[in-house]
Amino acid sequence: MQQRVVAALERMGDVLGELGRRFADAGEEIALVGGPVRDAMLGRLQQDLDLTTSARPEVTERLLKGWADAIWDVGRAFGTIGCRKGPWQVEITTYRSEAYDRTSRKPTVEYGDTLAGDLGRRDFTVNSMALVLGPDGVGEPHLEDPFGGLVDLAQRTLRTPGAPEDSFSDDPLRMMRAARFAAQLGFEVDPDVVAAMTDMAQRVSIVSAERVREELVKLVCAPEPRRGLLLLVRTGLASYVLPELPALALERDEHHRHKDVYEHTLTVLEQSIDLEDRLPEGGPDFVCRFAALMHDIGKPRTRRFLDDGSVTFHHHDVVGAKLTRKRMQALKFSGDVTDAVSTLVELHLRFHGYGSGEWTDSAVRRYVRDAGPLLPWLHVLTRADCTTRNARKAARLRRTYDDLEARIERLAEQEELEAVRPDLDGNQIMEILGIGPGREVGEAYRFLLEHRLDHGPVDPEQAERVLRDWWASRGEQP
């Protein structure tokens, strides 16, 4: 661990050395703190540096001028001044303490006077360590670790510097951060911390949707999201931030007439992660992972037990897509991300109509058209959704989907399938039919698009005959 720290400090030497000199010359203290110290000990290299200082924000800003390549102060209200120096993104925050009012969504910020006081108000002991900078940077590492973070790091344990109840009262979002760090670092959460999370889960409801969303994204994109999600469900936090997930756990019935939907969902998530190398930019990919997590959330609403003892979930794809959109809107996700995830949820069952290859070329075209640019993500989700323990059945499903993908590729080469459009554009439609812009042009366009999907591309003369026949069947004269 010491070797890792030394190697990390060598990488950061130039930027930390100059910051140490500037702040020391001004009579101020400054220290590398939190995540960068923890990650240096874990051998996780990064370009973002967090520092804490005795200097007030206006002093920090003055000391950075003439040295930093760019400076920003969007965090000034919280005592933070940010800057960029070469490849490094640096945030310097004044010693502080912050606490929530019982009914407030935002912390009140008070500046502190000591490094120890600043470390004591941080979320977990592994983030409550600091490397103090002197006039020559760090030099021989001077580690401040008043709460035993080094030991907890070695033991891969998440503990709070003080009583977890006090920490979570100060900022309830820290309960979600515990789950996120468990997923990111693979650490165990101290039993006292888990107990406090369970007792105080409802308190997370005062935190803004935007802050909850950011923690959820980081958790889902972590190396081990299952670990964090299980903790959210176990402590009851999921009931407030993602209630659709624990609802799946209720879907196990005493007669075992269908698979455990909750466990199936977590397995689909893990299998989708294993397939992320099929995506255009690889992973971690939030859209892919969140679609896997949400794909079956319509099942609790659609479960029906039949007289013969079987169970159905008819239309759970459509219901799930609506519930996904509603949840993501509540969490203030962007429209594009919400549309992408909910579309994947709605389409995730489409493949099962393929059978053993009975789809016509028209059906394949519609599959591609409906998926649009999300087709690679739909491929991953559909493949990941196979969790059967029957090896022969799993192999058959893989072969069948291989066949569908091969057909898509062949049609794409022949027909530019990803950009399917009618064989005539709007201007041509108006010229042939002798009409101006209006509703009829849109209807004609949609008719030609359906014809294109059913029959593939045709030449302009044939497209014109098809259009005129359709127009005449409506009782219209071109």
Q: What is the pLDDT of residues 382-419, one digit of tens each?
A: 999 998 888 898 898 889 999 999 998 888 776 555 55
Say how many residues make up the chain.
478
Sign of CA dihedral 218, 223, 225, 231: negative
pLDDT above 60: residue 450: yes
106-163 pLDDT per residue, tens: 666 788 889 999 999 899 999 999 999 877 665 555 889 999 999 999 999 999 999 9
* 316 Cβ contact list (under 8 Å, min separation 6): 296, 298, 299, 301, 302
Asked which of 196-210, 315-329, 430-444 is least confident by mean pLDDT, the reply is 430-444
At 476 the pLDDT is 62
Give the dihedral sign, CA 367/370/372/377: negative
Q: From start to end of 75-156, where are the E strands?
A: 80-85, 88-94, 96-99, 108-111, 130-133, 143-144
Assess contact for 385 and 266: CB atoms under 8 A. no
Highest mean pLDDT among 346-350, 368-372, 393-397, 425-429: 346-350
pLDDT 10s digits, 271-324 = 999 999 999 999 899 999 999 999 999 998 888 877 777 777 888 999 999 999
Strands (E), 169-250: 188-189
Q: What end-to-end distance do the CA atoms of the chain give, in Å?
A: 81
Spatial contact of 295 and 265, defined as CB atoms under 8 Å apart: yes
Alpha carbons 329 and 265: distance in angstroms, whole number = 22
- Quick one: DSSP state of residue 261? H
SS3 260: coil
Mean pLDDT over 451-458 rounds to 80
User: Running DSSP on this structure, what letter comes out for residue 107?
Assistant: -
Residue range 193-218: mean pLDDT, rounded: 96
pTM score of the predicted model: 0.81
Q: Which of 70-74, 246-250, 353-357, 427-431 has the lowest mean pLDDT?
A: 353-357
- Angstrom CA distances, 178 to 113, 181, 212, stand at 27, 5, 13
Q: Contact at 8 Å (CB) between 111 and 96?
A: yes
Residue 363 confidence class, pLDDT cut points 50, 70, 90: confident
- pLDDT-based confidence at 57, cuts 50/70/90? very high
What residues are paired with 51 via a beta bridge? 32, 92
> Which helix (H) or strand (E) element contains residue 30?
strand 30-33
User: Can you give the pLDDT at residue 254?
Assistant: 45
DSSP 144-181: E-TT-HHHHHHTTEE--SS-HHHHHHH-THHHHHHHHH
pLDDT of residue 229: 97
Distance CA 466, CA 474 (A): 13
Burial class from Cβ neighbours inside 10 Å (0-12, 13-18, 19+) for residue 75 reads: middle
Question: What pLDDT, on the 0 to 100 scale, is given for residue 221?
Answer: 97
CB neighbour list of residue 439: distance below 8 Å, 6 or more residues apart: none
Instruction: Return the exposure string of 455-467: e unless at least 16 CB atoms fall within 10 Å of the residue's CB, then b.
Output: ebebeeeebbebb
215: left (phi over 0), alpha (psi -120 to 50) or beta: alpha
* Inter-CA distances, 147 with 67, 158, 170, Å: 34, 12, 18
